[in-house]
Amino acid sequence: MARPALLLVACASVWVFAALLAVTGCGGVPTGIVNASPAEGSGAALAPPPATPPPSKVPVVIHGEKQMVDKVVRSDEEWRASLSPEQFQVLREKGTERAFTGAFWKTKDEGTYVCAACGLPLFSSETKFDSGTGWPSFSAPIAGENVATESDRTYMMLRTEVLCARCGGHLGHVFDDGPGPTGLRYCLNSAALALEKP
Ligand SMILES: [Zn+2]
């Protein structure tokens, strides 16, 4: 009669051992990842986006008042999209329209001639004169600040190129054979200009 009792005790011991194994073996918390945070470290390494530099300013005179305006800087593609082919050739490629063909060479309308590319006021009809050249000609700009000049040595000549001070667009050339009091002749391309009438 002792053997069945011993067997029962042995079976009970197996069950107790199995129960203990289940509690201690599987119930433990995996401590290795307790402190890991998915947010921690994911954004700290990102640098802030680079700041866009502000546009450079240029001093000009508009309606008789000196002021600073943003320079206009565009790529050739952007200029092509905003100008006619003839305007692009003159303003951006320093082209010259044929004499006696432009819109303004004989215009006597009153108004302000502005840059066809950026709208900056450049010349007044008050200083426009008939030079006989077939190009619109002026004795002086609205303000010296509104135009820039550069030496131009193309075509085996030394000439002075006239550019818009705001966008750098080519307007034409200036010569010293103009009427008084300046003695200057700003010989411009109609394609570089637009006339704003009062
Ligand atoms: Zn301009």
Local mean pLDDT, 10-residue blocks, the chain (198 residues)? 47 44 40 46 63 85 96 97 98 98 97 98 98 98 98 94 98 96 97 97
Nearest to 88 by CA among 189, 195, 187: 189
187 touches 170 (CB < 8 A)? no
167 alpha carbon to ligand 1 midpoint, in Å?
4
84 touches 91 (CB < 8 A)? no
Q: Which residues contact 79 (CB under 8 A, 6 or more apart)?
A: 88, 91, 92, 117
Nearest to 71 by CA among 161, 164, 191, 144: 164
Q: Give the pLDDT score at 3.
A: 52
Instruction: Specify the pTM.
Output: 0.73
The residues whose Cβ lies within 5 A of ligand 1, an ion, are 115, 117-118, 120, 164, 166-167, 169
3 alpha carbon to ligand 1 midpoint, in Å?
113
Instruction: At 193, list the tokens.
Output: 């200009």
Q: Give the pLDDT score at 45.
A: 65
Kindly state the DSSP code that residue 169 receives in the 8-state scheme.
Answer: -
Hunting for tokens 């190129």 — which residue is that?
A: 161
76 φ, ψ to 5°? -55, -40
Query: Exactly one of 115, 164, 167, 187 is catalytic; which is it?
Result: 187
194 touches 104 (CB < 8 A)? no
94 alpha carbon to ligand 1 midpoint, in Å?
13
Angle, vertex CA 31, rays to CA 28 and CA 35, nearest 5: 145
176 alpha carbon to ligand 1 midpoint, in Å?
23
In angstroms, the CA 115 to CA 162 distance is 12
Nearest to 136 by CA among 122, 117, 150: 122
15 alpha carbon to ligand 1 midpoint, in Å?
95
Instruction: At 42, list the tokens.
Output: 């994911």
Helices (DSSP H) in the chain: which residue ranges?
2-26, 76-82, 85-91
184 alpha carbon to ligand 1 midpoint, in Å?
21
Hunting for tokens 């002021």 — which residue is that?
A: 67
182 alpha carbon to ligand 1 midpoint, in Å?
23
Q: Verify whether residue 26 is a known catalytic residue.
A: no
Q: Give the pLDDT score at 28.
A: 40
